[in-house]
Structure 1
Amino acid sequence: MEKQFIFLDVDGTLCTSDGTVSTRTKEAIQKAHVNGHRFFICTGRSKAELTDEVLSLPIDGIIGAGGGYCEVDGKVVFHKVLEKDGLLDLVSYLKEHKVEYYLESNDGLFASTNLKNLLNEMTLRDNPDKGPEALKAITWFTDLLIEDESQIDYDHINKLSFVNQTIPFQKIYDRYSKDFQVIPTTVSAFGKESGEVGVKNIHKQTAIEYVLHYMNEDKAHTMAFGDGHNDVEMFAAVRYGIAMENASEQLLAVADEVTTSNNSDGIAIALERHGLI
């Protein structure tokens, strides 16, 4: 097969439910890369939220913050940040309504005062039989959260994610969607009223198109793997979209193919089936 450019979502796709990459998936990506195929992370996470395990894969580029950050061969080729005044207004609004959140930048993830406590409470509530084991499974993320507000540089924030238990998502959407890209959360554990706030009119499709243009390539030899509603745009940017078995209904409706779930080596199985390894 001719060289393929393959875009990989992370949560629910590349990573299993415990946030790790399975051995079979790692080996498949490594073998396909040796065969000349190029891999790009394409995620809602900012770069600071990517684990060492993900970054150690043979990846040729990173699309992060839902499309606001693009890196190719270690070089930053595109980077947009949230407009500061609007962001400060949003942060003030969330604090007023007791909505917890974290700010995503390339320097780190900055958490609101009670976010860690809320995430721990929600994890225990949703996994009553697992207790400490369930809490341990999210420490890879909670350990990344910085709780010192004095360290935040509001001029360089890629994205804001909010974990909302207090007001309807629609209220936040109605107030801020004119200025920002406001979408429902892509992390189901955060709850249906939670969401993500990014740069207006920037998403995975615009980012992939920018990266392909930068490399002087077109979509003729592109593939993508995803599971979430925010991957619908990603599939629109590539020739062939493969949804995980655990994907949202929105993505399954536009997928060219469905592979097994993120917990069942879906990426590896599809790479094998398409003769990339």
Structure 2
Amino acid sequence: MKKVIFMDVDGTLVNDNGVIPESAKIAIRKARAKGHLVFLCTGRSKAELFPEILEVGFDGIIGAAGGYIEVGQEILLHERVKKGDVSHLVDFFNKHEIDFYLESNGGLYASKNCKQHINTIIEKLLIDKPEAREEVEKGLQPFHDCLIDDEDLVRDDINKISFLGSDLPIEIIRGEFESKFNVIPSTVPLFGKNSGELSVPGIHKATAITKLLQHLKIDNEDTFAYGDGLNDLEMLEFVQHGIAMGNAKEEVKKAADDITDTHDNNGIYNSFKKYGLI
């Protein structure tokens, strides 16, 4: 029987260096060959879904933490942040010297020092883990290189915002923006303490999955989802089989129906095998 599988990206499909383990690629391709549908379901906007990810092969995309849905060539949903709210957060982050980037389907627009901050993160990672150079060049480096840092940041095409770690507690950032955004800690550990994401309120991965299943005319009982971060909670609780990665946050593991191995220890492949998806 055809199943529908929803796959988070950061910390789930890709490891901490931004690279997809070969076993995960094999699992997804085998599952689709058996007739199952596999969708990306990520906080990333489409501009962050690099060729290495899309070339694995998927039946569609839920992006921007539920704010964007694409099936084949059809766009079912595309929510954007109000321009006035973008202006507010740009002013706030600049005032508090917090580095950030604005995510759209057309590009990632970085604040003044954001690219240098990320470059510093990459350099430190390579000093601490020189053996990770090959993976970093495939994963994190393309992300750094695609950031656009010479554009007007007050825009009307923004899906979501990510901010890097700073000395300002995330609780203060949440207090500033919780009436206008979902505010959660970042799903990328390398971004550091107090890093996070701002997304359109009232929308999350589960609301997008609901809309997608209605479009496909498929019941919720035939669904699986894989995730590791706080923006995966609603998704894992909504689907029939919500599975946390071995590297997931503890809150996510508690909410899941099952826990598989980590991304680098064949977590996706092992779970697909366990549930007869491959």
Scaled by the length of structure 1, the TM-score of the pair is 0.94
Residue 179 of structure 1 and its aligned partner are, at CA, apart by 1.1
Q: What residue number does 2:59 align with? A: 60
Which shows bigger deviation, 116-125 or 195-204?
A: 116-125
Tell me if the contact between 1:103 and 1:110 (Cα under 8 Å) persists in the aligned partners: yes
Aligned residues: percent identity?
Answer: 43
Alpha-carbon distance in 2 for matches of 1:80, 1:129? 39
The partner residue of 1:139 within 131, 138, 141 is: 141
Q: How many residues align structurally?
A: 275
Alpha-carbon distance in 1 for matches of 2:154, 2:215? 29
Pairs within 5 Å for 1:160-175: 160-175=161-176
Scaled by the length of structure 2, the TM-score of the pair is 0.93
Tell me if the contact between 1:120 and 1:135 (Cα under 8 Å) persists in the aligned partners: no
The one-letter code matched in structure 1 to 2:197 is: E
Residue 68 of structure 1 and its aligned partner are, at CA, apart by 0.6
Other structure's SS at 2:121 match? helix
Tell me if the contact between 1:4 and 1:221 (Cα under 8 Å) persists in the aligned partners: yes
Residue 218 of structure 1 and its aligned partner are, at CA, apart by 2.1
Post-superposition CA distance 1:52-72 (Å, at most 9, x none): 111112211101011111111
Tell me if the contact between 1:17 and 1:263 (Cα under 8 Å) persists in the aligned partners: no
Pairs within 5 Å for 1:62-141: 62-125=61-124, 128-130=127-129, 133=133, 136=137, 138-141=140-143
Which shows bigger deviation, 267-276 or 76-85?
A: 267-276
Residue 226 of structure 1 and its aligned partner are, at CA, apart by 0.8
Alpha-carbon distance in 1 for matches of 2:136, 2:29? 31
1:260 aligns with 2:256: no
Other structure's SS at 1:102 match? strand
Which shows bigger deviation, 199-208 or 123-132?
A: 123-132
Structure 2 residues without counterparts, runs of 5 or longer:
none
Q: Pick closer, same or farther for the CA change 1:29–1:135 going to 2, 3 Å.
A: closer
1:182 aligns with 2:183: yes
Structure 1 residues without counterparts, runs of 5 or longer:
none
Residue 153 of structure 1 and its aligned partner are, at CA, apart by 6.8
Tell me if the contact between 2:243 and 2:260 (Cα under 8 Å) persists in the aligned partners: yes
Alpha-carbon distance in 1 for matches of 2:129, 2:34? 42
Alpha-carbon distance in 1 for matches of 2:181, 2:25? 35
Residue 210 of structure 1 and its aligned partner are, at CA, apart by 1.2
Residue 87 of structure 1 and its aligned partner are, at CA, apart by 1.2
Q: What residue number does 2:151 align with? A: 149
Other structure's SS at 1:234 match? helix
